[in-house]
Amino acid sequence: MNWTVKLFKSYIFRRAIRAFITVLIVVTITFFIVRLMPGNPIEIYIGQLMSQYGMTFQEAKNAAAALFSLDLDAPLFSQYLDYMKNLFRGDLGRSFVSQGVKVVELIASYLPWTLFSVGISILLSFTIGITLGIVIAYKRGGLLDQIISSISTVLTSIPNYLLGIILLILLGVQLQLIPVSSMRGTVSPGIKAGFTWEFISDVFKHAALPILTYVLSTVGGWILSMRGSTLNTLGEDFVTVAKARGLPERRITFTYVGRNAILPLFTSLTMQIGFMMGGSALVEFIFVYKGVGWALWSSIGQRDYPVMQGVFLIITIAVIVANFLADLLYGKLDPRIKAGGTE
Amino acid sequence: MKKFKNFLWAVFVQPLILIAQNKIGLAGFIVLLVIIFMSFVGPYIIPLDTKVKLDKIYQPPSWEHILGTDSEGKDVFSQIVHGGKAVLTVAFLAALFSTMIAVTLGITSGFVGGRTDNIIMFITEVVLTIPQFPLLAVLAAFIRLSNPTLLAFILGAVSWPALTRAIRSQALSLRERDFIEAAKILDLGALHIIFSEILPNMMSYITISFVMAMTGAIYSQVGLILLGLVPLSGQNWGIMIQLAWTRGAIFFKDSLSYILSPILAIVLFQWSAVSFTRSLEGIFNPRLRVRR
Amino acid sequence: MRENSVLSVQNLHVVYSALRGTVKAVRDVSFELNKKECLAFIGESGSGKSTLGTSLISLIPGTGRVSSGKIIYRGNSKDIDIAKLSENEVRKIRWKEIAMVFQSALNSFNPVLRIWNHILETAKAHGVNDKEFVQKKSLELLELVQLDPERVLKSFPHELSGGMKQRTLIAMSLLLDPKILILDEPTTALDILTQKNIIELLKKIKDELELAMIFISHDLSIAAELADRVATMYGGKIVEIGPTDDIFYRPKHPYTKGLLKAVPKISGGFEELFSIPGEPPDLINPPSGCPFHPRCGYVEEVCKKEAPQLEQVEGNHYVACYKWRGITDGE
């Protein structure tokens, strides 16, 4: 087998292609939503310019075209091609509201905060969840199992933004444990970005509530899934054989039970990434945490369509990339995926 | 007629008998019934308090107002009773739409197989990757979702993929079972096989999916309302939360029950739905049962 | 007798607790396993033979436990009662002294580890840390089971066929030179041709190596190819035990006779060919007297009242039946 055939058959390559196609499709859908929806933003904007600034239709149309980086006189399909071309050059147009500011620059200032808070939350939640899940699976039926399982069920049933409100009320207003108002935003004013204790601790202080919310609202799901998966794995023959081989209990728990029980959770991991990135629109709204979720809300509220379109795209692309990474990790952990070529 | 009876049995009676065997599942089921009863029958029993009483703004719970009063001195409890119907109806319709799409696509995909399966699954995977809530938010920016049915339709239209995938895998496993094989050999016809062999056997699973779809629809629906993206009016738990939030009710001790009541109503519904479906799952999927 | 024995099981009882009551899976079983001997246990599923096998290395599944009796291992200078060992002590016995190969050929290996890692970790678990020695030994053993050693060591379990996995597991079971090898239906999940090969392989191992075997099977014909002695189990008890030829040609227990009639001509694992009428006994409320009496064609009043004890037919051949004298060989 020569290397090109190998490449085309490899799991990574096929997953990359699929991720890429998904991005293309999402980009296309977004374009047509923006251009073809009833009351599409470009027409609205043209109308606004005409009524507010007394522009002629042609002037307004030119201004709109510049904003969206589109030639509005060209046929739809060539507009679509232009749009794609611009996108690959990283040009997402300019904001309506903050006149002239490039959407890409706005996104660059919002995205890191969301990736940071959501990323840390997923790591924390997944780690805590699988650890507790395996523990209560080993102690199934006991008091600890019953308590943790019940709490987990309750946590999974609270929508994350409502949990956020409850946390604000409980920690911020009722118990006065945390200074809610100074924790808004992503960093305190006047603190310089850099690798300093002051900056890093400030970043964590501001992200603490969103992270706590994400972790609490997802950890229950991981605990329960891991519990179920561990119980299934404990019944597998290779665990019995491992015991017959006289392997130490620790080795069996980690390498035999734990590692195999995690594998089925990876399908949920990709779902969870999408759900958390999507839910950031609500959680960041509650905590006034200025990431892409907050930007999506504010751009919709201000009818700042180029920003909205860009933010939506970037959220989706982030999810697709994260899913791709999760799949790669899965391929690394499960040798059956890499070699067999079946999914 | 006998078939119809069997169908009813499989859909309604059998799950009930099984639920009664699981304590948490039974608790969830009862709470679910109570909430539904309160939301749909309650409004005829308890009148909505519409009188603005400026001397009774933000009162803590008392015997007169068991959940306190709101920013206009209106009784919160009566709003809770009246505010469930709208939320639950939209969630029900949305779940109905998405389950219908998912069942149709999932069964087609699982049973027809081949290229049809590939195409349906590809579309499903793509839509599944698009984060649901931002998509809804963007759509809400273009479409005025002031009509509950339209809102439900949009909610359903974006939430079918996960369900489709699950139903397809169920259909795939059912396809291999003996009684389906037998029906095929007897040449009973695809529609007959689907309606009298497959659907009844998947009904428990579809019930679970339906309830889970409802919880998902409530999440998105209330989220959209909270962000102010759907111009709904009337009595609605989501609108209550949004009003309480924008009026700053979280900052005062006395206004707490005003904002917490609708939140707890929603959480209680979600919890009972999750417990109910978990116990159903435990019953129908023996692999999930606790090994002793 | 004593100095020749490696394992002595005395009055062993194994029970499971179930919701409905206590399942008496193994009842008052005693036997000796001699050096270099292959002893086969045969019986239907639910006869207690697999439970007996797992109890020998304290690996009874679920709620099962030894309720009384002794399992004396005589492989070392000092006799040890396995039933009394702690989990950590018995862990050291497993695989090093007594290895066990299971019927689940397809799923015996951890899917995320290569075969080489399985072998290495097994050696390490028993204090053998010399990598080169382990490698040399595993190459030899894989050669012995007629596999391509280099390839197998590098493979993940899913890259091997069912037959290859079972051979690998058998090779691995010999890694630490155990004194006893327990084989629990080692050919069940395999196709007929592979079954044949595995049996040939086991014969070779038995001839070439110094170890005693316990072979558990529902298939008398497979057992007959390998075993020196055969024990028939029914309802958790040994109902007949003796040299293979005696059991095969001159069975005395009606149940053994029934099993023999059900043996298919080629040694395939056709369980459904068992044609003894009636159900296996309920082990929560076992029948009074002889466990086989509800299905027995020779039943008399005494059979229903008191369980018959094993009595000598001739030499090493024992049977637990009141009526054995009346049961003719041929028929």
Q: Which of A232, A236, A241 to mutate to test the interface with C (most CBs of C within 10 A)?
A: A241
Which one of B134, B253, B270 has the shortest CB-CB distance to A278?
Answer: B134
Domain boundary among A28, A55, A88: A88
- Characterise A142 by phi-psi region: left (phi > 0), alpha (psi -120 to 50), beta (else): beta
Residue count of chain C: 331
Using a CB-CB distance cutoff of 8 angstroms, which residues of chain B are in contact with residue C62? 291-292
User: What average pLDDT does the segment A170-193 reach?
Assistant: 72
A336 in contact with C, Cβ within 8 Å: yes
Which residues are C42's β-sheet partners?
C217, C232
Q: 3-state SS string over C128-146?
A: CCCHHHHHHHHHHHHHHCC
Task: Convert the pLDDT of each residue in B183-232 to its tens digit.
Answer: 666 666 667 777 766 777 777 778 888 888 999 999 999 999 999 888 77
Query: How far is C223 from C230, CA to CA, in rounded Å?
Result: 8
In one letter, which amino acid is C241? I
Helix (H, G, I), strand (E, B) or coil at A93: coil
Question: Between vectors from CA A187 to CA A186 and to CA A191, what angle results, nearest 5°?
Answer: 165
For the domain that residue A327 is a member of, what is the CATH number?
A: 1.10.3720.10
Query: How far is A301 from A299, CA to CA, in rounded Å?
Result: 5
User: Is residue A154 situated within a structural domain?
Assistant: yes
**Whether residue A62 is found in the same domain as residue A120:** no
Closest CA to B204 of B12, B5, B2: B12
User: Is residue A319 situated within a structural domain?
Assistant: yes
Q: Calculate the dihedral angle through the C-alpha atoms of B208, B210, B216, B218, rounding to the nearest 10 degrees.
A: -120
Q: Which CATH superfamily is domain B46-276 in?
A: MetI-like (1.10.3720.10)
Question: Between vectors from CA C325 to CA C319 and to CA C326, what angle results, nearest 5°?
Answer: 125
Query: How far is B98 from B165, CA to CA, in rounded Å?
Result: 12
Strand C38-42 relative to strand C229-234, pairing? parallel
More confident: B94 or A186? B94
pTM here?
0.84
**Whether residue A193 is found in the same domain as residue A225:** yes
Helix (H, G, I), strand (E, B) or coil at C27: strand
CB atoms within 10 A of CB B103: 22
Query: How far is B119 from B134, CA to CA, in rounded Å?
Result: 25
Looking at the predicted structure, is the pLDDT value of residue B48 above 80?
Answer: no
pLDDT at position A338 = 61
Among A265-274, B85-94, C234-243, the minimum mean pLDDT is found in A265-274
Decide: B254 and B68 in contact? Cβ < 8 Å: yes
Helix (H, G, I), strand (E, B) or coil at B236: coil
B192 in contact with A, Cβ within 8 Å: no
Query: How far is C24 from C27, CA to CA, in rounded Å?
Result: 7
* Residues contacting residue C113 through CB under 8 Å, at least 6 positions apart: A255, C121, C156, C157
User: Is residue A324 situated within a structural domain?
Assistant: yes
Q: What is the DSSP string of C44-81?
A: -TTSSHHHHHHHTTT---TT-EEEEEEEEE-SSSS-EE
- The list of chain C residues with pLDDT below 70 reads 1-3, 104-105, 262-276, 328-331
Q: Which residue has the tokens 């199992």?
A: A145
B287 in contact with C, Cβ within 8 Å: no
Cβ within 8 Å, pair B126-A25: yes
Looking at the predicted structure, is the pLDDT value of residue A342 above 50?
Answer: no
- Shortest Cα–Cα distance, C98 to chain B (Å): 27
User: Is residue A339 situated within a structural domain?
Assistant: no
Neighbours of chain C (3+ CB pairs under 8 A): A, B
User: Is residue A342 situated within a structural domain?
Assistant: no
pLDDT at position A40 = 65
Closest CA to A76 of A42, A44, A109: A42
- Residue range(s) defining the domain that contains residue A310: 103-333
Closest CA to C59 of C8, C93, C27, C19: C93
**Residue B292 banded pLDDT, cuts 50, 70, 90:** very low
**Whether residue A287 is found in the same domain as residue A150:** yes
Cβ within 8 Å, pair A37-B142: yes
Using a CB-CB distance cutoff of 8 angstroms, which residues of chain A are in contact with residue C112? 255, 259-260, 263, 333-335
More confident: A196 or A84? A84
Whether this model's ipTM surpasses 0.90 comes out as no
User: Is residue A338 situated within a structural domain?
Assistant: no
A332 in contact with C, Cβ within 8 Å: no
Decide: B84 and B73 in contact? Cβ < 8 Å: no
Helix (H, G, I), strand (E, B) or coil at C216: strand
Using a CB-CB distance cutoff of 8 angstroms, which residues of chain C are in contact with residue B291? 62
Using a CB-CB distance cutoff of 8 angstroms, which residues of chain A are in contact with residue B24? 150, 153
Domain count, chain A: 2
Among A173-187, A214-228, C113-127, C152-166, the minimum mean pLDDT is found in A173-187
Query: How far is C26 from C182, CA to CA, in rounded Å?
Result: 17
- Shortest Cα–Cα distance, C62 to chain B (Å): 7
Task: Convert the pLDDT of each residue in C236-295 to its tens digit.
Answer: 889 999 999 888 888 888 888 888 776 554 444 444 444 667 777 888 888 888 888 888
Query: How far is B184 from B200, CA to CA, in rounded Å?
Result: 17
Q: Which residue has the tokens 């043209």?
A: A46
Looking at the predicted structure, is the pLDDT value of residue A242 above 60?
Answer: yes
In one letter, which amino acid is B263? I
Query: How far is C304 from C99, CA to CA, in rounded Å?
Result: 39
Using a CB-CB distance cutoff of 8 angstroms, which residues of chain A are in contact with residue B143? 37-38
Query: How far is B190 from B175, CA to CA, in rounded Å?
Result: 12
Could you tell me the two tokens for C202?
Answer: 């086991």
Using a CB-CB distance cutoff of 8 angstroms, which residues of chain B are in contact with residue A312? 134-135, 138
pLDDT at position B221 = 92
Could you tell me the two tokens for C193?
Answer: 């041709």
pLDDT at position C253 = 87
Q: Where do the structural domains in chain C lie, given as residue ranges?
A: 5-227, 237-326
CB atoms within 10 A of CB A44: 15
At the topology level, CATH places domain C5-227 in Rossmann fold (3.40.50)
In one letter, which amino acid is B122? F
pLDDT at position A54 = 74
Query: How far is B42 from A58, CA to CA, in rounded Å?
Result: 58
Residue count of chain A: 343
Could you tell me the two tokens for C153?
Answer: 């060591």
User: What average pLDDT does the segment A88-104 reach?
Assistant: 79
Share of chain C above pLDDT 70, in %: 92
**Residue A3 banded pLDDT, cuts 50, 70, 90:** low
Decide: A302 and A283 in contact? Cβ < 8 Å: no
pLDDT at position B218 = 93
Decide: C26 and C51 in contact? Cβ < 8 Å: yes
Cβ within 8 Å, pair C63-B291: no
Which runs of consecutive H residues, i.e. helices, occur in B113-236?
114-129, 132-142, 148-158, 161-175, 178-185, 190-192, 199-226
**Whether residue A25 is found in the same domain as residue A75:** yes
How does A69-81 read in b/e, with b if 16+ C-beta sit within 10 Å?
Answer: bbeeeeeeeebbe
